[in-house]
Amino acid sequence: MGWIGETVESIKSLQVRQVLTQAVSLGMIVTSALIIWKALMCFTGSESPVVVVLSGSMEPGFKRGDILFLHMSKDPIRAGEIVVFNVDGREIPIVHRVIKVHERQETGEVDVLTKGDNNFGDDRLLYAHGQLWLQRHHIMGRAVGFLPYVGWVTIIMTEKPIIKYLLIGALGLLVVTSRTKEKNIRDVDALNLKLNPC
């Protein structure tokens, strides 16, 4: 009860100037995160430079919750590469390995067939109805790097949104209250100086 009372007290004692400073610092955090994301997009050339593996179709190489770093260069796509692709009519992109490539003589256009390492058959069943091959424009990037487990954070947050809101709320409260505590201490110091001028 005491803690809650203290918090409410500190929120009540906020001043306009302080609120503004905190809004600015919160804004800084958000914008710097955005800057990092956009810079990554710029360097990798992929519209989503980091993806989380959601299914076990590439086990034991990639498990659910692993993170992949994507790169989209002009290099041609070759068999064996792990690509992330979008299929028309599917919201979630798929991470699978290329097993067949046919590259046209003059235009350089490619037809690509993919398969998950852990799946029995190729991906034609996953493609849009009647689609036999993936083209260049379906492919969002190829996987170049790998980080295990980190993606669990986002999986938990998307599947249990309550945890996300709790976390955001707690962080927000922390930012708002931590500054005022510092200020309170400073006020006490000033008071002490007034009482014992030396």
Partner 1 sequence: MHSFGYRLNALLTFSVTILAIICAFASYSDNLNLPSPQAEIQVSLTMNISANLESMFTWNTKQVFAFVAAEYETPLNALNQVSLWDGIIPSKEQAKFWIHTTNKYYFTDQGSNLRGKEFNLTLHWHVMPKTGKMFADKIVMSGYHLPEEYR
For 190, the token pair is: 């000033």
The 3-state DSSP class for residue 15 equals coil
For 37, the token pair is: 């994301």
Residue 57 falls in the annotated catalytic set: yes
57 contacts 116 by C-beta, under 8 angstroms:
yes
The answer to the question of residue 117 lying near partner 1 (CB under 8 A) is: yes
The answer to the question of residue 172 lying near partner 1 (CB under 8 A) is: no
Q: What is the DSSP string of 161-195?
A: HHHHHHHHHHHHHHHHHHHHHHHHHHHHHHHHHHH
The answer to the question of residue 6 lying near partner 1 (CB under 8 A) is: no
**Stretch of 20-28, 29-37, 45-53, 73-81 lying at the interface with partner 1 (CB under 8 A):** 73-81
Residue 75 falls in the annotated catalytic set: no
Q: Which is nearer to partner 1, 78 or 136 (CB)?
A: 78
What is the pattern of x (binds partner 1, CB under 8 A) and - over residues 120-159?
A: --x--------------------xxxxxx-----------
The residues near 52 (Cβ < 8 Å, ≥ 6 apart) are 65, 66, 67, 68, 151, 154, 155
**Stretch of 9-17, 24-32, 88-96, 97-105 lying at the interface with partner 1 (CB under 8 A):** 97-105
One-letter amino acid at 56 equals G
The footprint of partner 1 (CB under 8 A) covers 60-61, 78-82, 97, 99-105, 108, 111, 117, 122, 143-148, 174
